[in-house]
């Protein structure tokens, strides 16, 4: 016997059997009205903090005769104020290498933006405008959200200020490749429509809490959009405000993922069947000083198995800078454990 039975029509409320009693269920009109009210409330709370960001970039363009000319390129994106003293969170690709930044508030006021810090590895950046008594967004907790939860995206696609779209969280814990080559972890997938210009805008819950920074869409698909989790953004923003950058460690090699021969895996009792094949070594780098060679296969870093380049990137944190570490490689037919001291990253897409 079914525990729940609902009788309804499109013209009014239905009845649902709960605990052997019939209760009145809300009609479709009531549900839609509640949905609309949730979106309206969230927009009322957050939209005053959303800004339109216009940027100018001076690019050097090489002509056919070999001469270099300077050309100014203009672009725009979104961002949102997250502190009362004017700090604005946005995407790195919106403001990276900008020669001029201008932020426009929803009330029409325009202010020059100062670059505070930029982190291409997570596609996040912080800029600042100087004006008192700003309305700022409340940052939520991206660890507490659930698939299917209502979310609202606010931004400035194609320069249309404070455009609102809504949808649901489609998936959690996605990974997205940044422009620098590193993977961004804990990315939120949503079907709230995003367009060029939405980048850097907030992804918001029905309570008006920002739980993501809108960052990318798959152009050939419909309803597949991504936002960087706000917990990642909190960490990155705090480092950018404090130091102007996010410190990561660097060992100075180029490599590619490789599948190991099963005989090697069995002989050395390796937990994984893949590793990183070293293709190049930077001069005067930690890898060079440690004695790594082209052709080595990295299988462990500080006793952590290495599946591929992304695993190595995740382990090369700021905590490893200047700290003696162990790197295990397969060279020809032997396994070697080498001492390596990572340095501060030079902001390159290689390890």
- In DSSP notation, 299-330 reads EEETTEE--SHHHHHHH--GGGTT--EEEEEE
In the numeric block, the tokens 């460690």 are attached to: 249
Calpha distance 264→258 (Å, rounded): 13
CA distance 246 to 344: 10
Catalytic residue among 47, 54, 93, 121: 93
Tell the residue number behind the tokens 């990155």, with chain if given.
236
Cα angle, residue 338 at apex, residues 336 and 340 outer, rounded to 5°:
155
Q: Which residue matches tokens 């410190």? A: 247
d(CA 84, CA 77): 21
> In this structure, what DSSP letter does residue 174 have?
E
CA–CA gap between residue 159 and residue 196 (Å, rounded): 9
Mark whether 123 is an active-site residue. Answer: yes
C-alpha–C-alpha distance, residues 6 and 256, integer Å: 57
- 93 flagged as catalytic: yes
d(CA 117, CA 96): 9
Number of H helices, E strands in the chain: 6, 25
Which token pair is 256? 């590619």
Measure the CA–CA gap between 183 and 176, rounded to whole angstroms: 6
Distance CA 38, CA 258 (A): 49
Give the residues across from 298 on adjacent strands.
276, 329
Q: Known catalytic residue: 199?
A: yes
Catalytic one of 121, 123, 191, 311: 123
Residues 104/161, Cβ–Cβ less than 8 Å: yes
Between CA 145 and CA 235 the distance in angstroms is: 18
Q: How far is CA 169 from CA 39, 42, 151, 192, in A?
A: 15, 16, 7, 8
One of 92, 199, 249, 351 is an active-site residue; which one?
Answer: 199
Indicate which residues carry an active-site annotation: 93, 123, 199
């Amino acid at each position: 016997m079914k525990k729940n039975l609902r009788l309804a029509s499109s013209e009014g409320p239905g009845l649902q059997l709960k605990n052997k009693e019939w209760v009145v269920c809300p009609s479709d009109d009531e549900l839609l009205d509640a949905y609309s009210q949730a979106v309206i409330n969230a927009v009322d709370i957050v939209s005053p903090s959303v800004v339109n960001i216009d940027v100018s970039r001076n690019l050097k363009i090489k002509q056919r005769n070999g001469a270099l000319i300077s050309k100014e390129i203009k672009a725009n994106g979104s961002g949102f104020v997250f502190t009362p003293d004017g700090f604005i969170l946005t995407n790195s690709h919106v403001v990276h290498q900008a020669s001029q930044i201008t932020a426009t508030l929803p009330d029409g006021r325009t202010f020059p933006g100062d670059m505070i810090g930029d982190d291409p590895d997570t596609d996040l950046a912080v800029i600042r405008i100087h004006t008192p008594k700003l309305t700022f967004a409340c940052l939520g907790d991206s660890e507490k959200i659930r698939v299917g939860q209502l979310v609202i995206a606010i931004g400035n696609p194609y320069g249309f200020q404070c455009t609102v779209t809504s949808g649901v969280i489609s998936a959690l814990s996605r990974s997205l490749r940044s422009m620098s080559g590193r993977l961004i972890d804990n990315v939120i997938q949503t079907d709230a429509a995003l367009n060029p210009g939405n980048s850097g805008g907030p992804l918001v819950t029905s309570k008006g809490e920002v739980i993501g920074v809108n960052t990318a869409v798959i152009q050939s698909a419909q309803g597949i959009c991504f936002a960087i989790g706000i917990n990642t953004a909190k960490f990155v923003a705090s480092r950018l405000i404090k130091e102007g950058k996010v410190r990561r460690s660097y060992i100075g090699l180029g490599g590619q993922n490789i599948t190991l021969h099963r005989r090697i895996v069995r002989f050395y009792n390796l937990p994984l069947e893949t590793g990183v094949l070293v293709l190049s070594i930077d001069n005067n780098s930690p890898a060079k000083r440690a004695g790594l060679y082209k052709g080595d296969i990295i299988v462990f870093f500080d006793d952590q198995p290495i599946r591929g380049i992304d695993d190595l990137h995740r382990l090369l944190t700021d905590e490893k800078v200047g700290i003696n570490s162990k790197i295990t490689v397969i060279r020809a037919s032997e396994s070697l454990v080498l001492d390596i001291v990572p340095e501060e990253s030079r902001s390159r897409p290689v390890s």
